[in-house]
């Protein structure tokens, strides 16, 4: 896809992978709609993008709220008339053995990692199908493929993302919509550093993930990377 003059939405844009992807999209000429719950982080990112000559808009929203999701995609359609790229990045992780797992933690992960992702995907598809084009990128995790101790609830949400996204890809490809699932391993974000013992010098950076996503976005229309496993070369 030629990203110049495109319209992109990035959820979880305030930090980490979302922030890095938003910066790269803006550099490529896309107008980036930044979505997160923390206004200060979004405003700082917007200023950084605009200072470099890019275009960005901010939408403060809790995407676990159905109404806010409808408002977000209603705004995109009314203001821009199209949507070219959705980066479904927002997510959280809570880790505990199943015997000690708090139901509230499981619900919080499910609502953001799966339900909100599905709602945003639906909102994007409703705009993309009539225009017969678009790309949806789901930021999942290798936890959606690999079991690990104390990760049952988190891994379950990422397995769900993989299943949902594979089905969605089959539904919408006839409308020239690509669905790409990116499964990173350990990434140097506040989230990963708290839950992994790997050296920060050896694990992936948010920009590594962003660069991978950008490469997938830039493929010609007839080619789609439907699933990408991105691992540290040597995490030990």
Task: State whether the Cα torsion 66-68-71-72 is positive or negative.
Answer: negative
Kindly indicate the confidence band of residue 18, based on its pLDDT and cuts at 50, 70 and 90. Answer: very high
Q: What percent of the chain clears pLDDT 70, i.e. is strictly above it?
A: 95
**Inside any domain, residue 167:** yes
| Structural domain span for residue 70 | 7-230
Residue 197: per-residue pLDDT: 52
- Token pair belonging to 142: 């290798």
75 part of the active site: no
**Inside any domain, residue 59:** yes
**Inside any domain, residue 136:** yes
- Token pair belonging to 131: 């225009």
Residue 195 has pLDDT above 50, yes or no: no
Digit-coded pLDDT (tens) for 201-212 = 778 999 999 999
For position 80, which CATH number holds? 3.40.50.720
**Inside any domain, residue 22:** yes
The pairing of strands 31-36 and 7-11 is parallel
Digit-coded pLDDT (tens) for 210-223 = 999 999 999 999 99
- Token pair belonging to 166: 């594979």
Q: Which residue has the tokens 């959820």?
A: 11
**Inside any domain, residue 55:** yes
**Inside any domain, residue 78:** yes
**Inside any domain, residue 235:** no
Strand, coil or helix: 68: helix
Catalytic-labelled residue, pool 73, 95, 106, 154: 154
Residue 187: per-residue pLDDT: 83
- Token pair belonging to 235: 């995490």
- Token pair belonging to 24: 């790269």
Q: Check: pTM over 0.85? Answer yes or no.
A: yes
**Inside any domain, residue 2:** no
Digit-coded pLDDT (tens) for 131-177 = 999 999 999 999 899 988 999 999 999 999 999 999 999 999 999 99
Residue 194: per-residue pLDDT: 46
Span 185-193, mean pLDDT? 69
Domain count, the chain: 1
Kindly indicate the confidence band of residue 193, based on its pLDDT and cuts at 50, 70 and 90. Answer: very low
Digit-coded pLDDT (tens) for 123-135 = 999 999 999 999 9
Instruction: Work out the mean pLDDT of the chain and round it to a whole number.
Output: 94
Task: State whether the Cα torsion 222-81-114-200 is positive or negative.
Answer: positive
Kindly indicate the confidence band of residue 234, based on its pLDDT and cuts at 50, 70 and 90. Answer: confident
Residue 198 has pLDDT above 60, yes or no: no
């Amino acid at each position: 896809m030629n990203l110049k003059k495109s319209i992109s939405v990035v959820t979880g844009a305030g930090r980490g992978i979302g922030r890095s992807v938003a910066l790269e999209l803006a550099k490529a000429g896309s107008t980036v709609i930044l979505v997160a719950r923390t206004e200060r982080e979004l405003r700082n990112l917007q200023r950084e993008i605009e200072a470099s000559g890019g275009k960005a808009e901010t939408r403060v929203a809790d995407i676990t709220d159905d109404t806010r999701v409808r408002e977000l995609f209603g705004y995109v359609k009314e203001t821009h008339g199209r949507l070219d790229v959705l980066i479904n990045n927002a997510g959280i992780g809570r880790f505990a053995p199943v015997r000690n797992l708090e139901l509230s933690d499981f619900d919080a992960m499910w609502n953001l990692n799966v339900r909100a992702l599905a709602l945003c995907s639906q909102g994007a598809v409703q705009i993309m199908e009539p225009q017969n084009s678009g790309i949806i990128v789901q930021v999942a995790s290798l936890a959606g493929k690999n079991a690990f101790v104390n990760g049952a609830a988190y891994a379950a949400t990422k397995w769900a993302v993989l299943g949902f996204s594979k089905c969605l890809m089959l539904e919408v490809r006839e409308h020239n919509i690509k669905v790409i699932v990116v499964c990173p391993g350990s990434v140097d974000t506040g989230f990963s550093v708290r839950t992994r013992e790997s050296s920060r010098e050896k694990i992936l950076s948010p920009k590594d993930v962003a660069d991978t996503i950008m490469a997938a976005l830039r493929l010609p229309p007839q080619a789609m990377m439907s699933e990408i496993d991105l691992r540290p070369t040597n995490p030990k």
